[in-house]
Chains A and B, each alone.
Chain A
Amino acid sequence: MSVVAPLPRGTLGARMGRGVVDWIPAAAVLVLGILLWEGLVRALDVQRFLLPAPSAILDTLWEERDLLWSAGIYTFTEAVGGFVIGSALAVLSAIVLARFRSLGRALMPFAIAANAVPIIAFAPITNQWFGPLEKTSKMAIAAILVFFPVMVNMLRGLTSVRPQSIELMRSYASGEIAIFRRVRIPNSLPYLFSALKIATVLAMIGAVVGEYFLSSQEALGFQIRNSAALFQFELAWAAITVASVLGILFYSAVALVERVTMSWHPSSRGE
């Protein structure tokens, strides 16, 4: 009678070792990609505004770092603010709908429909509600974008529990609250995190597109549009790079929290 998997010995270092090796192919692709890009742009003499050379973009990133940094932070706070508000409301709503199942069943088709709606078309209206120069208008559209996918996923996670788990808790004469705390909520975490990762991307989209309609001049979206209009394409691309990097950082931060919180889950054991 043997134990199926040994207790993980060793420290973070041992686990890091294996993790680092996994990233080598991606790093290789990155390096090759950048070199290829640089080479092609020079060789084919690609028009500057379509795609400047990486070297040109990096130069501009450095020169305009103050401007890009503050614009980036401005937009990032909108995205994070919307993300936090939208997710918090979504989690609370999901818990309520899981608790009052008939309400949940009645509203589910609407949540699914809402997920299919191009919510981004609503951005001009949030601008009207909260003022286009304010951050809150962009936070609002980001929050709405984030709300539905997080709520639907969280609800699914709260309700797809094995019947025997519930029967077990009932055999301990637990009330609904204890069942939520001890079974449904831990069970929903994988679903929640997978939705939160998508939500980071949605929140950034919400912030940037919201800025497109009208925004403060401090915003990153404004920078992108403005510099493109002034034919400063390296700056536009540098701003796009900043937006992208921020998005990646946001996503990775959530992925990291997921790793740490759910070290017990099959998906983080590499299964």
Chain B
Amino acid sequence: MSSAAVARPVVEPRRETLLPALKSAGLSLLVLAVLWALWEAYKWLGERLELTRPFPVNERTMPHIHDMVGQLFEPSRRNGPLLIDVLLDAAAFTAKEAAAGFLLGAAAGFAIAVVLSESRLLQRGFLPYLVASQTIPILAIAPMVVIWVNPKLPESLAGWGAVAVIAAYLTFFPVTINTLRGLQSADPRAVELMRSYAASRWKILWKLRIPASFPFLFTALKIAAPAAVVGAIIGELPSSIQDGLAGAILNFNQYYITSPESLWATNIIAAALGIIFFVVVALAERLLVRRAPENVA
């Protein structure tokens, strides 16, 4: 329990917030540059010394970073569209699945948490299985989910709709766990106050517990958003869906020998997708939720 500063709200002049922001952006660029330099240095050294541990260092295993980025602007295959166009289309496809799965999973996770929060017994009964559910390898059950769900979907949703379900599977769990903790986090005195107003259980839930859970919900959403992307990719893998990032990964994995940069470039785009999802949720959090400062030593 931190002694959050009882601070009067301060209106900081614009200049004071711009300079530190520029400083940290500059620092981040510096770190990126250092990481790039480390990569190239290890590659250079590894090739000179012909290192084989932990892994052999050569053109195939460690392409130059600028080659990876450069490959994006090359055709993806002979006379074909540019790699970056192919990958952005694939990313958009996967993003669609991930976003749908995220919304579905977050809604489901929240609902489950609300139901569980009302009953200790239900919690004791079902929580272990919720935890266990995440140990089932979704990669293995993905094809089955696809076959089961697809016929039930309208034409426009077929294919990617099932992957959204799989993405939702990875999304709901962190949302449930964190929301549950949030729903239970209301100050007991606040609950007593509500009771003194003869508020019903439902009212207390709606007006106190759910708002109290929002900071926790957003913590979960920041974890769940990238998880939805992972779920979408893993869901696509065994499901013979070519249009998404998993299809691109499988494709360029096949042609790794001839063009290792393409697979690395695919990873870069996939990484960007995950980060974008995270940033969107983090921004939403900034706008929607005020948080007490953490007391950190």
Interface 9-mer from B77-85, B104-112, B138-146, B197-205: B138-146
A251 touches B226 (CB 8 A): no
Indicate whether A231 reaches chain B with its CB closer than 8 angstroms. no
- Bound-state CA distance A236–B147 (Å) is 16
Contact A128 B226 (CB under 8 A): no
- Contact in complex: A109, B28 (CB < 8 Å): yes
Interface flags for B26-69 (1: CB within 8 Å of A; 0: not) read: 01101100010000000000000000001110001100000000
- Give the Cβ gap from B223 to chain A, nearest Cβ, in Å: 8
Q: Contacts A208-B140, A224-B137: A117 and B234 contacting too (C-beta < 8 A)?
A: no
Most chain B beta carbons < 10 A, residue from A25, A118, A244: A118
Residues of A within 8 A of B136 (CB): 240, 243-244, 247
Which stretch from A3-11, A35-43, A154-162 is at the chain B interface?
A154-162
Find out whether the CB atom of A121 lies under 8 angstroms from the CB atom of B267: yes
- Assess whether B131 is interfacial by the CB under 8 Å rule: yes
Bound CA–CA A23/B128 (angstroms)? 9
In the complex, are the beta carbons of B249 and A121 less than 8 A apart? yes
Query: Interface code A102-142, partner B: CB below 8 Å = 1, 0 otherwise?
Result: 00001101101101111011101101111000000000000
Is A26 an interface position by the 8 A CB rule?
yes
Distance (whole angstroms) from the CB of B4 to the closest CB of chain A:
13
CB within 8 Å for A251 and B131 given contacts A109-B28, A205-B137: yes
Cβ-based interface call for A92 (8 A): no
* Chain B residue nearest to A51 in the complex (CB): B144
How far does the Cβ of A44 sit from chain B's closest Cβ, in whole Å?
13
Q: Which of B153-170 contact A (CB under 8 A)?
A: none
- Say whether B190 faces chain A, with CB atoms less than 8 Å apart: no
Interface residues of A (CB under 8 A from B): 22-26, 28-30, 33, 49-51, 106-107, 109-110, 112-113, 115-118, 120-122, 124-125, 127-130, 159-163, 165-166, 201, 204-205, 208-209, 212-213, 221, 224-225, 228, 236, 239-240, 243-244, 246-248, 251
List residues of chain B with CB under 8 Å of any chain A CB.
2, 27-28, 30-31, 35, 54-56, 60-61, 121-122, 124-129, 131-132, 134-137, 139-141, 143-144, 147-148, 225-226, 229-230, 233-234, 237-238, 245, 249, 253, 256, 260, 263-264, 266-267, 270-271, 273-275, 277-278, 294-297
Known: A106-B27, A162-B2. 10 other contacts (CB 8 A): A50-B147, A110-B28, A116-B278, A121-B245, A208-B137, A208-B139, A208-B140, A221-B140, A225-B140, A240-B141
